[in-house]
Chain A
Amino acid sequence: QQQVKQSPQSLIVQKGGISIINCAYENTAFDYFPWYQQFPGKGPALLIAIRPDVSEKKEGRFTISFNKSAKQFSLHIMDSQPGDSATYFCAASIHNNDMRFGAGTRLTVKP
């Protein structure tokens, strides 16, 4: 029943590098695309979200790129830091209801 496919499963990046995580969705009715960050022992926390009427959204070092025609969206983390090491989930929903999550990407940023 997975409707959101996320890749890669794991990612290792050097400090200062760019981390890129990709997601693809199937349901064209989805209209809300958030990214969550989860640290061990904690619940996911909203990082940044986008709606399909824009192609890019930037908040600090985090950018979402959205391609509606390809049904894909990605998270870019610029100047990656060891403190960014966490599991990242993309998600999609209709009006923020019944959220469907990707499988997650474990990011490790090496100092």
Chain B
Amino acid sequence: KAGVTQTPRYLIKTRGQQVTLSCSPISGHRSVSWYQQTPGQGLQFLFEYFSETQRNKGNFPGRFSGRQFSNSRSEMNVSTLELGDSALYLCASRPGSLSYNEQFFGPGTRLTVL
């Protein structure tokens, strides 16, 4: 089974721009979660989508948004980029049918904001 894939792997943007990151979950997984990883703040939960609906949301501003498609693929959008948005963005998928299913992480998208 193929793992979680994220595209692109690396991205450079400038302040004020917007960016869209993509995540393809493991086949059959219906839940996709997004995380931001930075040296200062560590791993922080952004949001989770299940069956095209946002199921949980972390404490991030509205500039961070996401969506999930009927094939479970998910996109994350960040508008009006700030320098502090530079981070590794990770997505993780799990079947979603049971609370304690293991979640599998992708390799991440490294976003640099200049």
Contacts and interface: CB of A to CB of B under 8 A. Distances in A.
Interface in B1-34: 4, 33
Main secondary structure of the interface of B (DSSP, over half): strand
A86 B104 CA distance: 17
B107 A98 contact: no
A65 B19 CA distance: 42
Contacts of A42: 107
A97 interface: yes
Interface string B46-90: 001000000110110000000000000000000000000000001
A101 B56 contact: no
A12 to B, nearest CB: 20
A43 B108 contact: yes
A82 to B, nearest CB: 22
Contacts of B42: 2, 89, 101-104
5 contacts: A43-B92, A97-B56, A98-B58, A99-B103, A104-B43
